[in-house]
Structure 1
C-alpha cells in the first residue's frame, strides 16, 4: 500500500461545535468530502492539525470512523495513531485497522526523552500488532524527539510494516540524506510546507499538508503540474501559495486553519484549550491571503 500513496496527503482539522465543543460530525464529513472532491491523493486524519493530542479515546475513535466512512475507499487514508504509551498506540492502531485505514502514521510522543533503543522497541511493538503499512513521522518541533535519517532508514529496513517516512524537521538536507541512504526502497514524504518543491526535487513521494483545507484545488494543481513536467508553472503557483503556507504554519495549524475556514464560511469551531483562536489581525491576514489566491 505504501507504494500507492503519492502526491498530496491532506490533513483535515477536527471541527468542534455546540456549547460543549463536541466533535462536529457534519462539518467533518464536509471537510473530508471537499478534500476528496478536490482530487487530493490521500486523506490523513488525526495528525497534529487534527488536534489528536486533545481528543479523548471516544472522540479519537469517532473522528477515525467518520473520516474513513466518508472517504469510503476513494483515496487511501493514513490515520495518525500517536499516543504517549506503546499500549495506547497499539490500541489506536488496531482500531484504525479494523475501521479500514489504508496505512498508519506514528509520531513518537513522550514525556521522557526516548533513546533509539526505546524508539525502535516502540515502533516494532506497534508494527507487530497490525498488518497495515506504517509511516514513521519525525517532527521534533512538535514531539521533542528527533530521529536522524540514518535511524529512520534503518527502521524501515529492520522493522516489518514500517514502510515509509514523513520528515518534518524543516531541513531539506535530511530529506536528501534519506533519499541517499534509502533509495527507492524508502518512500519519504515532506511535512514542511515551505520545502514542498525542494522536497519533490529531492525525490519525495508526497507532500503532507493541512493547506488543502483552505485552498484544495490550488495545492492539488501544484502536484499535477509537477507530474506532467510543467515545473515553471508549478513554481509560479507555489510562489503564490507560499505566503499563506508560511502564515498557517507560523501561527499553529489548528488555530490558523480554523481561522481560514471561518473566513470561507466553514465553521469548524475554535481549537481546543489550552490552544486559543488567533487574534483578529491574524484572522484578517489569513482571510486576505486566501482571497488573493482564490482570485
Structure 2
C-alpha cells in the first residue's frame, strides 16, 4: 500500500459531548468526492489525545468501514506508552486499516535509542506499514534522520515518515539517507511544495480538511511535472494554512468546517472555541477563498 499525494488528518466531529458518527461519515464522503488521496483518523487533528480507548477504536472502525477501500486509511495509533501503542495498533489492524501513523513518544522524551526500540517493539507485534510521525513542537523530542534511516533499514514495517519539523534541511537529509522508496510525507502545510521538490511523495494535511481539492491538486500537479500549477495551488493554500493555525490545531479547522456547514461547532476540553477576533479573521479568509 502506497501512501502518496494528499491525505487528510481528519477532524473528529462531536455532538453533545460524543462522537458524531453521522457527520463523520458525511465528511469522509465529501473528502473522497473532492479527490483526496487518503484519510487519517485519530491523528492530532482528530483530537486523539482526548478520546477514550473505546472512542478511538470506534472512530478508526467507522472510518475504515465507511471508506470501504475507496482510498487508503492510515490510522493514528501512537502513544507515549509502548504497550498502549501496541494495543491501538492491533485494533487498527483488526478492523482493516491499511497502515498506521505512529507518533514518537511525547512527554517522556526518550533518547534516539529509546525511539528506535519503541518502534521495534510495535513492529514485533503488528505487521502493518508504519508512517513514523515526527513533530518535536508537540512531543519535545526530535527523531533524527540517522535514527529514521536505521529504522528504515532494520524494521520492515517502517516505510515512511510524516515530518512536521518545517526544517527543510532535515527533510533533505531524510530523503538522502532513507532512499527514494521511503515515503516522505509533509506534516506541515506551509512546506508541502518544497518537501516534494527534494523527494517527498505527499502530505498528511490539516488544511485539506477545508480545501481537499486544492491540496490534492497541488500534489497531482507536482507529480505530473506542472510546477507552475503546483505553485498556484501552493499560494492559494497559504492564507488558509495560516488560518488553520491562528490558534492551536484543530480549533480553527473545526471552526472553519462549522462555518462551511460540514460539522457541528463543538470541541472537547482542553480545546476551546476561537477568540472572537480570530474567528472573524478566519471567516474573512474563507470568504476570500470562496469557501463560504
TM-score (norm 2): 0.96
Q: Report SS of the residue matched to 2:245.
A: helix
In structure 2, the residue matched to 1:197 is: 193
Normalized per residue, the structure richer in helix is 1
Residues 4-42 of structure 1: CA distance to partner in whole angstroms, max 9, x if unpaired? 221001111011102xx1000011111111111111111
May I ask how many residue pairs the two structures share in their alignment? 291
Residues 76-110 of structure 1: CA distance to partner in whole angstroms, max 9, x if unpaired? 11001012211110000000001100000110233
In structure 1, the residue matched to 2:7 is: 9
8 Å CA contact retained: 1:106, 1:135: yes
Q: Distance in 2 between matches of 1:35 and 1:195?
A: 22
Alignment of 1:223-242 (within 5 A): 223-242=219-238
In structure 1, the residue matched to 2:115 is: 119
In structure 2, the residue matched to 1:243 is: 239
In structure 2, the residue matched to 1:85 is: 81
1:174 paired residue among 161, 164, 170: 170
Q: Distance in 2 between matches of 1:121 and 1:234?
A: 39
C-alpha displacement at 1:288, in angstroms?
Answer: 1.7
Q: Distance in 2 between matches of 1:247 and 1:150?
A: 34
In structure 2, the residue matched to 1:52 is: 48
Q: Distance in 1 between matches of 2:161 and 2:40?
A: 14
In structure 1, the residue matched to 2:150 is: 154
TM-score (norm 1): 0.95
Q: Distance in 2 between matches of 1:244 and 1:223?
A: 17
1:138 paired residue among 134, 137, 140: 134
8 Å CA contact retained: 2:164, 2:188: yes
C-alpha displacement at 1:195, in angstroms?
Answer: 0.5
Aligned-residue Cα RMSD (Å) equals 1.3
Residues 173-206 of structure 1: CA distance to partner in whole angstroms, max 9, x if unpaired? 1111111112213221111111011011111011
Which stretches in structure 1 are left out of the alignment for 5+ residues? none
Q: Distance in 1 between matches of 2:290 and 2:193?
A: 21
C-alpha displacement at 1:61, in angstroms?
Answer: 0.8
Q: Report SS of the residue matched to 1:294.
A: coil
C-alpha displacement at 1:228, in angstroms?
Answer: 2.2
In structure 2, the residue matched to 1:273 is: 269
Matched, 1:95 2:91: yes
C-alpha displacement at 1:250, in angstroms?
Answer: 4.1
C-alpha displacement at 1:284, in angstroms?
Answer: 2.0
1:183 paired residue among 155, 179, 182: 179
